Amino acid sequence: MGDLDKLLAGFQVFRATYFGQRPELFQDLVKRGQRPKVLVIACSDSRVDPALLLNAEPGELFVVRNVANLVPPHQPDEHYHGTSAAIEFAVRDLEVSHVIVLGHSGCGGIQALCNAVVGRPPDRQYINRWVDIAAASCCASPNQGRHFTEEEARATEQGSVIQSLENLMTFPWVRERVENGRLALKGWWFNMDDGGLWTHDPAQGRFEPLGA
């Protein structure tokens, strides 16, 4: 079975599951529109699907995915801002109650950032500039040609989640909702090695295991 044939077969399973067994679910979503309460900002990595990871049904999550699950700072200019536009829609129009920045281990975008810091930036037109959003969180030592450690990569992955949470607060309509209790921000990190989910504890200043 080819790659596309496999996807089409998967669509038939999806259609049978949701339209055949539970037609009321999509009828309600079509009639009343989407009403997710959670915005997830996740990585584009094919191994980390938020809906699959969190066992969410259609309509439960509003998901934004990009390289390294980054949130840029608020920049009200005439450039294109896909991630910021999605955040604005989720917060101002859908009025979500929670925003989760979901990082993960083995992130290629963070690897590109660390490689750039140690003098080996990838030869790419857009990635270098994009991951520079998280440059302040990079824990790799800036020694030319040095290979960064697994611990440095993990610390940078988690640090970039914290950086994105801080950048979220630069959007005035996010800050306003957080300060009046209408919106909660969370930073999570998924360890693909052991399946563990970690959450950032602002009081402790570190990530702690979330659940079993």
Give the tens place of pLDDT for each residue, 94-112: 999 999 999 999 999 999 9
Give the C-alpha separation, 203 to 185, whole Å.
14
Q: What class does CATH assign to 36-209?
A: alpha beta
What are the Cα distances from residue 208, in Å, to 2, 196, 200? 41, 10, 6
Question: At CA 112, angle to CA 111 and CA 118, rounded to 5?
Answer: 90
What are the Cα distances from residue 165, in Å, to 26, 64, 184, 199? 33, 14, 11, 12
pLDDT number for residue 86: 98
Tokens of 154: 């993990």
Query: Which residue spans within the chain are E strands per DSSP?
Result: 38-43, 61-66, 98-104, 184-191, 196-201, 206-209
**pLDDT tens readout for residues 183-204:** 999 999 999 999 999 999 999 8
Give the C-alpha separation, 136 to 5, whole Å.
43
**pLDDT tens readout for residues 140-157:** 776 666 778 888 899 999
H-helix segments, 42-147: 50-53, 82-88, 108-117, 127-131
Low-confidence residues of the chain: pLDDT under 50:
none
Helix (H, G, I), strand (E, B) or coil at 2: coil
pLDDT number for residue 144: 60
Asked whether 58 and 79 are in contact (CB, 8 A), the reply is no
Torsion angle (degrees, nearest 10) of CA 146, 152, 156, 159: -140
pLDDT number for residue 119: 85
Model-level pTM? 0.94
In which residue are the tokens 């439960």 written? 60
Give the C-alpha separation, 87 to 39, whole Å.
8
pLDDT number for residue 20: 86
Asked whether 62 and 36 are in contact (CB, 8 A), the reply is yes
Helix (H, G, I), strand (E, B) or coil at 76: coil
pLDDT number for residue 143: 67
Extents of the domains making up the chain: 1-33, 36-209
Give the C-alpha separation, 168 to 160, whole Å.
12
pLDDT number for residue 121: 87
